[in-house]
Amino acid sequence: MYRKEVEAYFADKQDQIIADICRLIRIKSVREDPKPGMPFGEGPCAALQEGRRMMEEMGFSTKNFDNYVVTGEISDKPAYLGILAHLDVVSEGSGWTVPPYEGTVQDGKLFGRGSADDKGPAVVSMWALKAAREINPNLSKGVRLILGSAEETGSEDLEYYLPKEPAPPVSFSPDAEYPVINIEKGMHRPVFGADWEEDPALPRVTAIRGGTTTNIVTRECDAEVEGLTAEEVKAVCDKTQAETGVVFTVTEGEGKVLIHALGESAHAASPETGKNAQVAMVAMLAALPLADSASARAIRGLAKLFPFGDDHGAALGVAMEDEISGRLTLVFSKLQLTKTGFRGQYDSRCPLCANDENMRFVSERAMAECGFQVYEKAAMRPPHHTPADSQLCKTLLATYEEYTGLKGECLAIGGGTYVHEIEGGVAFGCALPGTDNRMHGADEFAVIDELMVSAKMFTEVILQLCE
């Protein structure tokens, strides 16, 4: 370990590091419409240019990949280690108590959009490269810092960059949390549905307006029913509410009954923490005495495939798990039904054991049996896995334990990180366990002590892997 030298190097660097982060926070790098030479708009481009200037001020050699990505390296040796961070941010939204685009230090925290996600980590990564070069000018392997500009909107920056300059053999991204995320589940998000001729037979459901966001447990859902009284519908709603905890409201409309369901939202990676209003609504509607029709059969098919509380795809026939990546999760998250058809989508986070044969094809057969067709996004997104016993993971965990005094472990998550498509990559930092940085929310902040220990750990990792 180089801890003595690393601690000494950073002993007087905190103010400089915070000032550099604020240089980037002051740039509103939210994606906008493209302009010539600015694929994601002016803000992300300006942030990339400022990041490149900062790296050049530190003596790095830099490259600009058409304002999608900029890179910096500390030597002319082939890069063995890559560090990936992004300089784009989500919109500030409302509810801030400090200016979102200035950088405000209060109570040991740095507030500002991007302070934690991901401008703060990007800057401490720059300083780690600089520190490693100055502590050991004779590193035998190279390091490359990769700064992107579209992580928040789908990582089109890396899609453009990686075919032009393949990633180094091992990589980590500080765009997550500690200790080490080495497994990211795969995803399956098919759009499916059915179409039919309008059938006026009563009672019938004329509309369902469910979720519109794929990766969120649906909080609210509305439906319209004809041919039943409000009292008849309310009786079924009350029963469903008692079974699910989703709150139903029934009102009379013009010749129809209007139904509203209110549940609790949650991320698709942890659906058990929410209450899916859309699924509860479908269950309730399927229990109504509807006239036989293609629409009624479709609703009952949806209720069969996606029963309330089935967060793991058992009814669809795809429930599975493995020892290192855990259980499959599945959320029926989007649904729009009219008098002549419906479109729906689910979000499934699939363990390492999932594949086309035991996931995709099984799902498609089950939907076909209910008369549903898959329209788009049928392909699975493969999971990402870097073995826990790799040199990279062992070095990161040993460094984490040495510098924080906390137990290190490798984690499997249902979400995706900036290294999902990069072989040999993991996520490492910058938030310590228990820290909620309010990422994507008002008053986003980074804990300054966590930024500083991250800078030290990144330096140590560079020295260990590239000495």
Q: Which helix (H) or strand (E) holds 259?
A: strand 257-262
Q: Domain 187-376 classified CATH 3.30.70.360?
A: yes
Q: Alpha carbon of 104 to those of 115, 175, 417, 446: distances in Å? A: 10, 21, 27, 11
DSSP bridge partners of 170: 81
Q: Which helix (H) or strand (E) holds 345?
A: strand 341-350
Token pair of 185 as six digits: 């589940």
- Taking the C-alpha atoms of residue 118 and residue 26, their distance in angstroms, rounded to an integer, is 13
Between helices 448-466 and 3-10, what is the axis angle to 10°? 140
Sequence spans of domains, the chain:
3-184+384-466, 187-376
Report if pTM > 0.75: yes
Tens digits of pLDDT across the chain (467 residues): 999 999 999 999 999 999 999 999 999 999 999 999 999 999 999 999 999 999 999 999 999 999 999 999 999 999 999 999 999 999 999 999 999 999 999 999 999 999 999 999 999 999 999 999 999 999 999 999 999 999 999 899 999 999 999 999 999 999 999 999 999 999 999 999 999 999 999 999 999 999 998 989 999 999 999 999 999 999 999 999 999 999 999 999 889 999 999 999 998 889 999 999 999 999 999 999 999 999 999 999 999 999 999 999 999 999 999 999 999 999 999 999 999 999 999 999 999 999 999 999 999 999 999 999 999 777 899 999 999 999 999 999 999 999 999 999 999 998 889 999 899 999 999 999 999 999 889 999 999 999 999 999 999 999 999 99
The residue ranges of DSSP E strands in 38-197, in sequence order, are 61-65, 69-73, 79-86, 104-106, 109-111, 142-148, 170-173, 176-177, 180-184, 186-188, 191-195
Lookup result for tokens 């062992």:
394
CATH fit for domain 3-184+384-466, picks 3.40.50.1980, 3.50.50.60, 3.40.630.10, 3.30.70.20: 3.40.630.10
